[in-house]
Amino acid sequence: MTEKLVIVGNGMAPGRMLEHLFEAAPGRYQVTIFNAEPRVNYDRIMLSPVLSGEKSYDDIVIHGDGWYIQNGVTLYKGHRIVAIDRAAKTVTSDMGGTESYDKLVIATGSVPFIIPVPGKDLPGVITYRDLDDVNAMLLAAQSRAKAVVIGGGLLGLEAAAGLKARGMEVTLIHVMPTLMERQLDPAAGYLLQKAIEARGIEVLTKANTKAIIGDAKVEGVELADGTFIPASLVVMAVGIRPNVALAKEAGLEVNRGIVTDARMATSDPDILSIGECAEVGGHVYGLVAPLYQMARVAAASLTGGTEERFAHSDTPTKLKVTGIDLYSVGDFADGDDREEIILRDASAGIYKRVILRDNKIIGTVLFGETADGSWFADLQKKQADISEMRDTLIFGQAFQGGASADPLAAVAALSDDAEICGCNGVCKGKITGAITSKGLTGLDDVRAHTKASASCGTCTPLVEKLMVLTLGDSYNPAAIQPMCTCTTLGHDEVRRLIKAKGLKTIPAVMQELEWKTSCGCAKCRPALNYYLVCDWPDEYADDYQSRFINERVHANIQKDGTYSVVPRMWGGVTSAQELRAIADVVDKFAIPTVKVTGGQRIDMLGVKKEDLPAVWSDLGKAGFVSGHAYAKGLRTVKTCVGTDWCRFGTQDSTRLGIRIEKFMWGSWTPAKVKMGVSGCPRNCAEATCKDVGVICVDSGYEIHFAGAAGLDIKGTEVLGQVRTEDEALEVIVALTQMYREQARYLERIYKWAKRIGLDEIRRQIMGDPERRKAYFDRFVFSQKFAQVDPWSERVSGKDKHEFRPMAAVPFQQAAE
């Protein structure tokens, strides 16, 4: 019999609990969730990258609307539970609704602590706890004014860094002598303060807030010593408290948090509590790893299991500020019963401290170099005797027992039960076992099956190294391979930092990301140029000299040094006038070979480089534009005749193909893109081996993607089906924009789709109409800033035959 499960709160812990529950006992519970926030479940620990601009809200959604529908969950957004009737076993929301339950889970999280000083309620004083707070800060940051952040803990530092990245002048004030004093010793706190100040943030320690000053709104902060700091925004990030009010009013046992046993049951056996509001074993938690352990235990309790029990363990602390490497775990306080080993490298900004008791690690603090954090934590967890490696312990795992300095050797030496992902409690053996047993080949596959690196992402390098060790040469991800010899950074990291640091020129990228060469090379410059064009379409001036030669001259160079010219034929449709113009050009310039291409166009091969301007001039007079047969962009949309002529046609495939091609013509992409539209399932346009394909059916349009017919042969995957031509266009454009924003340079759609995950792409494009429309709108926005140059206009420079890239036709014209 189906039982009723009601959950109060929709944070990360209950979301993870439901994943475990649906896996262990699908269909056992009818689930209803009341969420005080007006949105779905998202990753709160990634709010800082949203604030800094490294991620968007869409990037941190854990369960979209489609997930709740798929699992039969009723989600009430923006409904706050105000009462629990334990006798009647019901809950009541502030909207007046009442819901009965068989089992109830309270996951009300925590509330931010507000310093009780005058002015705390002024407009412009906000806390930093949820997405609404982030949105408020982003709005305030548009003023480029001054901000004060109160609190030098994790949240305060991340808020300060995020606001600085958004252009505000930021002062961070902290009442204690050093930053993050609960997680760091004074030496590491000193280095952290230097790193924060190096980012242009003023840091004031031993600073006690006396009052927040202002009449109708915030004007500044007054300190106890009389110092006045002007500000239009004050962010309080001084700590959190478990949100226990609801449970207390219901008569449940409450201490600091809602008291539970090791199976997460409260004093009422039909009510469980998990997350930041729960107190188990005398502890309350604010980090995600123990919250996820609570989720696993609660799911087991709801299915009748008795073996899963919550067990306390120290959880590492990591700071999510780009460029600051910090790791802390365990007990690092001073004491007579302990000794310490310290390594300092002032020039490199490295500090390492390991605290020992009876030759066993009890605490670790790392700053500047944190790669050995997991190893130290594993030794601490196992209470391993380190006496034999005492002299070399501080240098890390690679220096033990004659081990190779190869970082892969260090990872290989980790035991199977060594924790790799602290957020999700995933050990090495679970990751390698899943890779082997499930045939996983990509990082996203590992994330989907194990949750490793799926939260804050700091363990991603370790997971990647495990994949290299397990899969060998068959795994060689670009994410951990440098773009080229000019940098140590991979494509993903470069692209992330371009957005995070607001870098808008190639010289700025090379300076800020510490390029090893003065001007880059033929590998990195085209990639950087593409990333900047895509990320800043309205601000970045396309560096045409950073494009490949074929793109600069609008022709494909051949093995004999001549060129191939391909004018565009929309959807493969031509006319007598166009054919005559091609014939005249062939005769006039004695072009030796004319060939019909696989993309339904005519290719003129053997054109001399010095003739290219005149060839294009004559073709332009006849109305031809570039077919972009050379481009990292849309090349062709192959069509069949559809309902115009074919007796089997179900839709007008020719019209749709031409519409797609005109709409998207000139839109640069990470690699070449080929499309096809077939008017019926007989598939004469071969749409099922294209990057994007459409199969017209009686009821509408079946959209396909991620096919290949080159070095790799691969049939397409079905993205979804839509009813109208307009919907088909929106889906295809949105899919292309998602690919433009996320793919690595020169990565084809089928490779990108495999890396990102087919289900994730379907979720974003087909399962989330709002996100799909946002992708579509961003594509249209980027096209507005693309320049359409006549072929007769030349570029100044050494090569008089080079032309500016032909960009998209104006949106209004393309839409016709």
The amino acid occupying position 451 is K
In three state form, how does the secondary structure of 683-736 look? CCCCHHHCCEEEEEECCEEEEEECCEECCCEECCEEEEEECCHHHHHHHHHHHH
Where does 573-652 have alpha helices with state H? 576-588, 612-621
The token pair that represents 618 in the structure block = 């004559």
- Rounded CA separation 639/685 (Å): 5
Spatial contact of 295 and 20, defined as CB atoms under 8 Å apart: yes
**Binding-site annotation, residues for [4Fe-4S] cluster:** 640, 646, 680, 684
Residue ranges at the known binding site for siroheme: 684
Please measure the distance between the N-terminal and C-terminal CA atoms of the chain and give it in whole angstroms.
57
Q: Quote the pLDDT of residue 790.
A: 33
Give residue-wise pLDDT tens across range 307-327: 889 998 888 887 777 678 888
CB 109 within 8 A of CB 9: yes
Cβ atoms < 10 Å from Cβ of 379: 21
CB 217 within 8 A of CB 211: no
Domain 3-111+242-302 has CATH 3.40.30.10: no
pLDDT of residue 690: 93
CATH class of the domain at 125-238: alpha beta
Report how far Cα 739 is from the mean position of its chain's Cα atoms.
13
Neighbours of 196 (CB within 10 A): 23
Angle of helix 749-756 versus helix 758-765 axis, rounded to 10? 90
Going by the annotation, the residues of the binding site are 640, 646, 680, 684
Strands (E), 526-588: 556-557, 563-565
Per DSSP, 808 falls in state P
Which fold is adopted by the domain 634-784?
A: Sulfite Reductase Hemoprotein; domain 1 (3.30.413)
8 Å CB contact between 701 and 694: yes
Q: Are 11 and 37 in contact (CB under 8 A)?
A: no
- Closest to 115 in 3D by CA, of 104, 125, 103, 101: 125
- How do the domains of the chain map onto residue ranges? 3-111+242-302, 125-238, 480-546, 634-784
* Residue 476 pLDDT: 59
Q: State residue 408's pLDDT score.
A: 67
Cα 111 from Cα 120, distance rounded (Å): 15
Distance, in Å, from the CA atom of 264 to the CA atom of 302, rounded to the nearest integer, reads 10
The per-residue pLDDT for 402 is 47
What is the Cα–Cα distance from 465 to 414, expressed in whole angstroms? 12
Instruction: Write out residues in the chain with pLDDT < 70, as ranges.
Output: 322, 401-410, 423, 455-458, 476-480, 785-816
Coil, strand or helix at 233: strand
DSSP, residue by residue, 245-290: HHHHHTT--BSSSEEE-TTSB-SSTTEEE-STTEEETTB---SHHH
pLDDT of residue 403: 44
Quickly count: other Cβ atoms within 10 Å of residue 719's Cβ: 23
Can 3-111+242-302 and 125-238 be said to share one CATH topology? yes
Cα-Cα-Cα-Cα dihedral of 69, 70, 73, 75, to 10°? Answer: -30
Report the distance separating Cα 32 and Cα 100, nearest Å.
Answer: 10
pLDDT of 635 reads: 87
Provide the sign of the torsion angle of the four alpha carbons 624, 626, 629, 630, taken in this order. positive
